[in-house]
Amino acid sequence: MLLREVDYAKPSSVAEALALLAGNDGARALAGGQTLLNVMKARAASPDMLVDLDGLDELKGVELSADGTLTIGAMTTYAEILDSAEARARPILGEVCAQIADVQVRNRGTIGGNLCSNDPTNHLPPLMAAIGARMTIAGARGERTVAAGEFFLGVYMTAAGPGELLTRITVPPGRHDGFAAVTLGVDGTCIVNAAASLDGSFRVAVGCVDAVPVVVEAESTGAVRAAVHGAGLDPPSDVHASREYRLHLAEVLAERAALQAEGRS
Ligand SMILES: Cc1cc2nc3c(=O)[nH]c(=O)nc-3n(C[C@H](O)[C@H](O)[C@H](O)COP(=O)(O)OP(=O)(O)OC[C@H]3O[C@@H](n4cnc5c(N)ncnc54)[C@H](O)[C@@H]3O)c2cc1C
């Protein structure tokens, strides 16, 4: 389907992008376009102006600090994370990016777009919640940094509100992580996914079962299934899976992710 007519701007700085977004209620940031253009074609979104972030080098790249902290620009693509020597400091990042869709989506889709769309079936929101990533948001009143728990607010809703941009993601050091998913076919949309991180105890985030990743804590791999069971999940039924099957997968995949995380200890 053809797009409805839309204005297009390609700012040369984050400040200019923020001014465009703040000055036009109908403006939307355009990252890789892998979600936004599809929802525009489906007429589920109809922005008046696209503010293309592609030219903003200040939003791109992966930096590794001496203490192992990673800083990832919001416009860094999955393929760039996969290719980044720095990103290998937290190996799960590349491993999960490699599982997202196909080469075309991985070449265009960005970490920032994935997190800002907060589609409950996306791979990265639960991963960021499990590994304790922090999101930096820029707006007219400057910058603020929020944890995943404050960033993901609902389906397609995040703390990056109108007139604001997610600029970078900060990932603390660590290697003991796991991720497991059941998808529709190979590399397809997730039916349920789970990410786990071990740092003394487990932090496990389950995706596709609620509007935002559901985070539980567990002292051991043996306690993970009970922790997920105790979270009182109420996932939806749809053409892909029943509520009961998703509940079952949530426990199985959380345990699998935790076992992977523990296997790296
Ligand atoms: C065929 C196909 C299969 C897919 N399969 C998967 C999958 O298995 N797993 C998965 O996780 N994803 C999947 N996706 C989605 C894909 O990962 C998208 O790339 C991602 O969800 C959005 O990233 P984007 O860079 O394309 O963002 P865009 O589509 O450009 O933007 C998405 C939304 O985020 C906003 N936004 C983008 N960047 C910023 C920013 N820096 N600050 C504030 N707002 C911003 C935009 O305004 C828009 O509302 C798939 C997509 C396609 C087309």
To 5 degrees, how large is the angle CA 13–CA 14–CA 19?
100
Pocket test for ligand 1, best of 100, 146, 182, 183 (most atoms within 8 A of CB): 100
Tell me how far apart the alpha carbons of residues 55 and 60 are, in angstroms, rounded to a whole number: 9
Helix/strand/coil for 107: helix
Q: Is the CB of 36 under 6 A from ligand 1?
A: yes
- Ligand 1 midpoint to CA 221 (Å): 32
Q: For domain 60-171, give the fold.
A: 3.30.465
Which residue owns the Cα nearest ligand 1 atom 37?
113
Q: Is the CB of 105 under 6 A from ligand 1?
A: yes
Q: Is the CB of 100 under 6 A from ligand 1?
A: yes
Q: Is the CB of 60 under 6 A from ligand 1?
A: no
- Ligand 1 midpoint to CA 11 (Å): 20
Helices (H), 145-242: 148-151, 224-229
pLDDT digits (tens, 9 = 90+) for 2-41: 778 999 999 999 999 999 999 999 999 999 999 999 999 9
Q: Point out the ligand 1 atom lying closest to the alpha carbon of residue 38.
A: 53
Pocket test for ligand 1, best of 57, 114, 127, 168 (most atoms within 8 A of CB): 114
Element (H, E) at 16: helix 14-22
- Ligand 1 midpoint to CA 201 (Å): 31
pLDDT tens per residue, the chain (265 residues)? Answer: 677 899 999 999 999 999 999 999 999 999 999 999 999 999 888 999 999 999 999 999 999 999 999 999 999 999 999 999 999 999 999 999 999 999 999 999 999 999 999 999 999 999 999 999 999 999 999 999 999 999 999 999 999 999 999 999 999 999 999 999 999 988 889 999 999 999 999 999 999 999 999 999 999 999 999 999 999 999 999 999 999 999 999 999 999 999 999 997 5
Kindly provide the residue ranges of all beta strands, DSSP E only, lying in the chain, ordered along the sequence: 7-9, 27-30, 49-52, 62-64, 70-73, 134-139, 142-147, 152-154, 157-158, 165-171, 177-183, 190-199, 201-207, 214-218
Burial of 52 (0-12, 13-18, 19+ CB in 10 A): middle
- Give the other-Cβ count within 10 Å of 82's Cβ: 17
Evaluate whether 93 touches 171 at the Cβ level (below 8 Å).
yes
Q: For domain 177-263, give the fold.
A: Enolase-like; domain 1 (3.30.390)
- Ligand 1 midpoint to CA 224 (Å): 30
Which residue owns the Cα nearest ligand 1 atom 43?
165
Tell me which architecture the domain covering 7-52 has in CATH. Answer: 2-Layer Sandwich (3.30)
- Please give the torsion angle defined by the CA atoms of residues 150, 57, 29 and 139, in that order, rounded to the nearest 10 degrees: 50
Please list the residue range(s) of the chain that carry CATH number 3.30.43.10.
7-52
Evaluate whether 148 touches 111 at the Cβ level (below 8 Å).
no
Q: Point out the ligand 1 atom lying closest to the alpha carbon of residue 165.
A: 42
To 5 degrees, how large is the angle CA 162–CA 145–CA 30?
40
Please list the residue range(s) of the chain that carry CATH number 3.30.465.10.
60-171
Which amino acid makes up residue 231? A
pLDDT digits (tens, 9 = 90+) for 182-205: 999 888 899 999 999 999 999 999
